[in-house]
Amino acid sequence: MHLFRDLLPLLLAGLALAAVAPGTATASPQATERARKFLTDHEARLRPLDIAAGLAWWNASISGKDEDFKKKEEAQNRIDEALSNRDRFKELKEIKQLRDKGEVEDKVLARAVDVMYLMYLEKQVDPELLKKISAKANAVEQKFNVFRAKVEGKELTDSQVRDVLKKSGDTHRRQLVWEASKMVGVEVEKDLKELVGLRNEMAKQLGFKNFHALQLFLNEQDGEELIKLFDELDALTREPFLKAKAEIDERLARNVNKKPEDLMPWDYHDPFFQESPAVFDANLDEPFAKADIQQLCRNFYKGIGLPIDDVLARSDLYERPGKSPHAFCIDIDREGDVRVLGNIVPNEYWMGTMLHELGHSTYSSRTIPRTVPYALRTESHILTTEGVAMQFERFSKSRLWLEKMGVAVADPEKFGAAAEKVRKNQLLIFSRWCQVMLRFEKAMYENPGQDLNKLWWDLVEKYQGLKRPPERNAPDYGSKIHIVTAPVYYHNYMMGQLFASQVHATIAKEVYAG
């Protein structure tokens, strides 16, 4: 029984149509035909530009070379130029007004009009401003790509940084490595602040208070409702988080020979404390030490009826100089050319990460019928693709999943108990981290001239309970790549976790009831 294979297309279709208002008696064949003509023309113009931009981004992310980043910037400029065309936007705006009156009778076509309208709206600003934003964002992203933490003259990969923070018993070395990992913030600080200013200028030209408000609008999210949701999450998770953190702190302190109140950010195994520290009674990395993570992913997704062999064949999955040290999934052409960039090392973190990124690939144009218009042949929303990916990533902490996949576990009961503890703690820890990211970005775009270094640590202390390093005054916020390359995105990870939990609960109750 291929449950995921059978459910996923239904999920995609339901989510897409849920966003479309029902038709009315005023439906007009003329308005529908006008919308269809614009959609056809949009695909003819944008599809080759999108493909070129996707390939350019892919190549730049792999190489880190100046010439590849230049091509990436030029490709983005061509997309911006096409979407900023005032005459085409005027036509689309009129079609959107007809759609809002219910005159576009095809529901899928009506949804395509909504999506295209937001795409074009974002670019209705000074063309020179768009070029400045593209150039600045491109430059900062390249700095992130090629950056490697340097300690005592030696460069460390992201995985090596995590390894030191997790395993070293030398407090001084952990601090040095943690501080070195934050140096990318120093390198991008000036450009990032300028980029924030440019983004705010764009938002104001479009009639929005700031870039944060603009992005929420473009993603069809209500800012007030979003904060209400996160306020509620804050209230619901605060006490359980503090209880979990107290237990973690006690174990961490014992491991590093400190008092709990003396623990510092570099004692928490992760540069941002967005992952649960490995302090429980089983080593979750041990089962993966000799495992072929790529093959495990291949076998798993094949086993649930969502094979990914074609994705793996196009992907770039291991570390190399100049390559982006992170992970992502990209849909190049919305016709099935889907790829994953990774930096696999044999541990639980990368098992979960690869399940996550390849999960994105199953919720992509590879599983969306070609009859769906090009403008809609992608995820219905950021939070839904993140929810699908997070649903899959959780299996890396499942004893039963490891057994089904044939991965040997030395002490299954001990592993299962520790993994379940870590999984629960992880959800709490990640929820608090998302509070920091959402509220920092919101405040930064509302008042970019404030002391951002202080703002960052004020939020980290409040929501994560970490102690601010004495006398530290550095742009640590700038060391989180999402603030540059995926602005006003991070809250969707938390909403994705909620979505994943709701889908899981529904499957458990309605598909496997009893």
- What are 457-487's pLDDT values in tens digits? 999 999 999 999 999 999 999 999 999 899 9
Q: Which residues contact 412 (CB under 8 A, 6 or more apart)?
A: 399, 403
DSSP label of 257: T
* Sign of the dihedral defined by the CA atoms of residues 225, 229, 235, 241, in that order: negative
User: How far apart (Å, rounded) are the C-alpha atoms in residues 49 and 485?
Assistant: 20
Burial classification of residue 267, based on how many CB atoms lie within 10 Å of its CB (0-12 exposed, 13-18 middle, 19 or more buried): buried
CA-wise closest residue to 429 among 401, 460, 399: 460
pTM of the entire predicted model: 0.93
Every domain of the chain and the residues it spans = 23-136, 160-511
User: How far apart (Å, rounded) are the C-alpha atoms in residues 308 and 94?
Assistant: 42
CA-wise closest residue to 428 among 282, 280, 281, 275: 275
pLDDT at 88: 98
Determine what percent of the chain is predicted with pLDDT higher than 90: 93
The per-residue DSSP string of 178-233 comes to HHHHTHHHHHHHHHHHHHHHHHHHHHHHTT-SSHHHHHHHHTT--HHHHHHHHHHH
Which amino acid is located at 56 in the chain? Answer: A
Considering the domain 160-511, what is its CATH architecture?
Answer: Orthogonal Bundle (1.10)
pLDDT at residue 13 greater than cutoff 60: no
Determine the average pLDDT of the residues in 295-314: 98
pLDDT at residue 244 greater than cutoff 90: yes
Determine the average pLDDT of the residues in 411-422: 94
The per-residue DSSP string of 99-154 comes to HHTT----HHHHHHHHHHHHHHHTT-S-HHHHHHHHHHHHHHHHHHHH--EEETTE
- Over residues 46-101, the pLDDT tens digits come to 999 999 999 999 999 999 999 999 999 999 999 999 999 999 999 999 999 999 99
Q: Please report which confidence band the pLDDT of residue 512 belongs to, taking 50, 70 and 90 as the band edges.
A: confident
Q: Please report which confidence band the pLDDT of residue 408 belongs to, taking 50, 70 and 90 as the band edges.
A: very high
Tokens coding 488: 């006003």
User: How far apart (Å, rounded) are the C-alpha atoms in residues 335 and 75?
Assistant: 19
Determine the average pLDDT of the residues in 107-136: 98
Q: Which residues contact 451 (CB under 8 A, 6 or more apart)?
A: none
Q: Please report which confidence band the pLDDT of residue 5 belongs to, taking 50, 70 and 90 as the band edges.
A: low
pLDDT at 267: 97
